[in-house]
Amino acid sequence: MTNPPEWQGFSLVDQAWIPVLDIAGSRREVSLRGLFEQAGDLRMIACALPTQSFAILRLALAVLHRATDGPLGEAAWRALWRGRQLPTADIAEYLDAFRDRFDLLHPQQPFYQVADLRAAKENTYGLERLIADVPNGMPFLTTRAGPGMELISPAEAARWVVHCQAYDSSGIKTGAVGDPQAKNGKGYPIGAGSVGWLGGVHLEGANLRETLLLNLVPVAPTWREADERDLPVWEREPHTAAEESASTRGPYGLLSLYTWQSRRIRLFGDAGGITGALIANGDRIEWQDRHLLEPMSVWGRSAPRERDQKRTPIYLPRPHDHGRALWRGLQTLLPAPPPPGGEPPQRLPPMVVQWLARLTVTGVVGTDFQTRTRAVSITYGAKQSVVDEVFSDALTMNVLLLVADSALRATAVDAAGDAEAAVTVLRRLADNLARAAGSRDTEGGAADRAAERAYALLDRQFRDWLARLGPDSDPAAERGQWQRLVWRAISRLGAGLVEAAGPTAWVGRTGKDRAGRDVHYSSSQAEAWFRTGLAKALPMGVESPQQRQEQPA
């Protein structure tokens, strides 16, 4: 195929477009080829948004999977892990074989786009269609206002194209010519981009080479068979404006999912700059029971679907709770022992975590190895038509915590539960003090503020405590140390609340408890209940017996 003589492309293989942070702490941009060649000297992919970084990581993993022919299993993975660098010659050969498909501005098959995409009514399209908005109505980067939204470089446009395919919000899109689902020039909602449904999780190593390999789950591990139809989008025929037939689009495996085309996109501009984008509906996706195909998400059982379909279990991806730090939901990330009675588990950890746990058990990865588990997801609002919030958090932990029957795993999960229990006691103290003072703030406001302070205080302490756990740790001693840390922190906060309650709370007043009984609330009584409750919540944190008093219902 001969390209027009005036055509000038933008090769994602050779031209820098991926922001990275190197081991020395410097930021720069690299090409796709450079990402693999320099992986040992790079700390991470470092885009402006964690969702961009996650989407580009999935793209890079698709390339690496194909260049390594799988890998086909544990032995092949071990060889890669023990090598000094990635198989750069194989990767370069693979990228060269599909070079044209990685050209952002190719006239016939531009990367992640449809070359002749057009609307029924010719319109001009701005960059606001491509660049996501968070929070609602506010651009990510406020410097884009005015001229900043008129022109962006092809490198930045490439990042937003990858992000759009992964995370674009739902809502009415431009109806593309050739799309039979479009009506009156409009494409009606088909849901958010494919990755937007996930509670995304990936593992980070000491450098990008380790990160890529830690997330390189073999295409055919023992728990499922490979499907030869599972190919990245650049190895398939270019898409048209129409949604691909349900009988052929899959997904057939992680390669399909890593490069899923949720939208049909066409950029406007040239190598000198991109001025706009047409975005239409692409391929919708059904995530039910894809947990054996998609390795980078948390999964949970869906009770409504189980009732409707009259079968169990049914699993759906679970986005992260953006209102809670990652450590507070630690049990959802880690493999758990099988539930009693053969009941299917309520939650499934990401397959990347399960894979690393297996490598730890078989000795491929040493028990002294530490990984950083990073979670990324998006919260949408108004029927997924706007992006409300981007979430990203990470925890550094020893690989033994990823093993289902590990004593360290149980200790870490129980320790997170200890913190939750202690904060619950503090919340009750704040509520009781409000009652003693006759405050109208007895509907949870004071308790919420107290809990917020407590979690902020415990956050760094838990992360540091978790990172210190290792193969030489004594689980019982470590949990006792944690409970003592929590005891001291929550006790100080509780004492501050009592001191700030004032003389009215000290005198107190009689009110009704939750069971409707008359109870005299005062700051001294509230403090006594608090001390008793804290001793129950943190029995290993108490160094001397505490006088126990009956806590009102």
- DSSP letters for 68-114: TT---SHHHHHHHHHSSS--HHHHHHHHHHTGGGGBTT-SSS-TTS-
Residue in the structure block whose two tokens are 């609002």: 381
Q: Can the peptide bond before residue 71 be classed as cis, meaning omega within 30 degrees of 0?
A: yes
Note the pLDDT of residue 136: 53
Name the residue among 412, 336, 334, 345 with its Cα closest to residue 375.
334
Task: Return the CATH fold of 408-541.
Answer: Topoisomerase I; Chain A, domain 4 (1.10.132)
Tell me which amino acid residue 443 is. E
Note the pLDDT of residue 442: 53
Note the pLDDT of residue 552: 54
Residue in the structure block whose two tokens are 């008129």: 150
Note the pLDDT of residue 546: 45
Show the low-confidence residues of the chain (pLDDT under 50).
1, 142-143, 545-551, 553
DSSP state for residue 177 in the 8-state scheme: T
The tokens of 524 are what? Answer: 């001294």
| Cα of 141 vs its chain's centroid, Å | 21
Instruction: Return the domain boundaries, the chain.
Output: 299-405, 408-541
* Cα radius of gyration (the chain): 27
Dump pLDDT digits (tens) for 74-122.
999 999 999 989 999 999 999 999 999 999 999 999 999 999 999 987 7
The tokens of 409 are what? Answer: 């795993």
Note the pLDDT of residue 98: 98
Tell me which amino acid residue 144 is. R
- DSSP letters for 33-63: HHHHHTGGGEEEE--SSHHHHHHHHHHHHHH
Tell me which amino acid residue 429 is. L
Query: What is the longest distance spanned by two Cα atoms in the chain?
Result: 89
Note the pLDDT of residue 144: 56
- Give the whole-angstrom CA distance, residue 273 versus residue 435: 63
Note the pLDDT of residue 530: 96
Name the residue among 271, 280, 101, 264 with its Cα closest to residue 182.
280
Name the residue among 430, 114, 399, 133 with its Cα closest to residue 244.
114
Asked if 48 contacts 70 with a C-beta cutoff of 8 angstroms, the reply is no
Contacts of residue 157, Cβ cutoff 8 Å, sequence gap at least 6: 104, 130, 267, 269, 274, 277
The tokens of 509 are what? Answer: 């007043």
Note the pLDDT of residue 140: 54
Asked if 67 contacts 87 with a C-beta cutoff of 8 angstroms, the reply is yes
